[in-house]
Chain A
Amino acid sequence: MEASAPTHPAGRFARTRERERTGESRLARVGRLFARGPLHVLLIVIAVLWLVPTFALFVTSLLPPSEITQTGWWHVIAHPSLATFDNYKHLFDNHDIVTSLVTTVEIAVGNTILLVVVASLAGYAFAWMRFPGRDVLFVIVIALLVVPLQTALIPIFSLYQSTGLFDTVLGLVLFHTAFGLPFGIFLMRNFFMGIPKDIMESARIDGASELRIFVKLILPLGLPAIASLAIFQFLWTWNDLIVALTFGRNTQPLTVAIFSQTRQFGSNIELIAPASFLSLAIPLAVFLALQRYFVQGMLAGSVK
Chain B
Amino acid sequence: MAAVTFDGVGKVYADGTRAVSGLDLDVGDQEFMVLVGPSGCGKTTALRMVAGLEEISEGEVRIGERVVNHVPSRDRDIAMVFQSYALYPHLSVYENIAFGLRLKKLPKGEIDRRTRDAARVLDLEPLLKRKPRNLSGGQRQRVAMGRAIVRQPQAFLMDEPLSNLDAKLRVQMRAEIARLQQDLGVTTIYVTHDQVEAMTMGDRVAVMRKGQLQQVAPPQELYDRPVNLFVGGFIGSPAMNLLDATLERGDGERDGWSVRLGEQRLALPAELVASRPALAAYAERSVIVGIRPEDLEDAALAPEAPADRRLRAEVALREALGSEVIVHATTAAHAASASEVRELALDSGVHAADAEESHATIVGRFSPRSRIATDDTVELVVDTGALHFFDVETGLGIYAAEREGALT
Contact = CB atoms under 8 A, between A and B. Distances in A.
Chains A and B come from one and the same complex: yes
B96 to A, nearest CB: 10
A203 B53 CA distance: 11
B135 interface: yes
B103 A201 contact: no
Contacts of B87: 199, 301-303
B219 interface: no
Interface of A: 3, 196, 198-199, 201-209, 212, 216-217, 220-221, 297-304
Contacts of B151: 206
Contact of A303 (B74, B84, B90, B135): B84
Interface in B259-317: none
B132 interface: yes
A204 B133 contact: no
Contacts of B80: 201-202, 205
Contact of B140 (A203, A220, A301): A301
A205 B85 contact: no
Nearest to A209: B74
Contacts of A204: 52-53, 72-74
A304 B140 CA distance: 9
12 contacts: A198-B82, A202-B80, A202-B147, A204-B53, A205-B51, A205-B78, A206-B99, A206-B100, A297-B133, A302-B133, A304-B84, A304-B164
The range of chain B's interface size is 20 to 34
Interface string B45-82: 00000011100000000000000000011111011101
A3 B131 CA distance: 12
B53 A301 contact: no
A298 B52 contact: no
A221 B86 contact: no
Nearest to B135: A301
Contact of B103 (A196, A206, A221, A298): A206
Nearest to B99: A206
B51 to A, nearest CB: 6
A35 B133 CA distance: 37
Contacts, number: 94
Most interface-central of B84, B89, B103 (chain A CB within 10 A): B89
B137 interface: yes
Contacts of A3: 133
Contacts of A300: 89, 132-133
B147 A206 contact: yes
Contact of A201 (B53, B75, B140): B53
B88 interface: yes
Contact of B86 (A201, A207, A208): A201
A237 B189 CA distance: 55
A69 to B, nearest CB: 57
B88 A304 contact: no
Contacts of B104: 207
A304 B137 contact: yes
B89 A301 contact: yes
Contacts of B140: 301, 304
Contact of A207 (B74, B84, B90): B74
B99 to A, nearest CB: 6
B100 A207 contact: yes
Nearest to B48: A201
A208 B74 contact: yes
B134 interface: yes
Contact of A304 (B79, B85, B147): B85
Given A3-B133, A205-B79, A198 B89 contact: no
Contacts of B131: 301
A205 B53 CA distance: 9
A92 B78 CA distance: 62
Contacts of A297: 133
A245 to B, nearest CB: 43
Contacts of A216: 99
Contacts of A201: 51, 53, 73, 80, 82, 86
B1 to A, nearest CB: 17
Nearest to A299: B89
B52 A205 contact: yes
A203 B104 CA distance: 12
4 closest cross-chain pairs (CB), A and B: A301-B133, A301-B132, A198-B86, A303-B84
A205 B132 contact: no
A201 B75 CA distance: 13
Given A201-B80, A205-B51, 6 more contacts: A3-B133, A198-B82, A198-B85, A207-B74, A207-B103, A301-B134
A101 B202 CA distance: 70
Contact of A298 (B72, B85, B90, B135): B90
A220 B137 CA distance: 23
Nearest to A201: B53
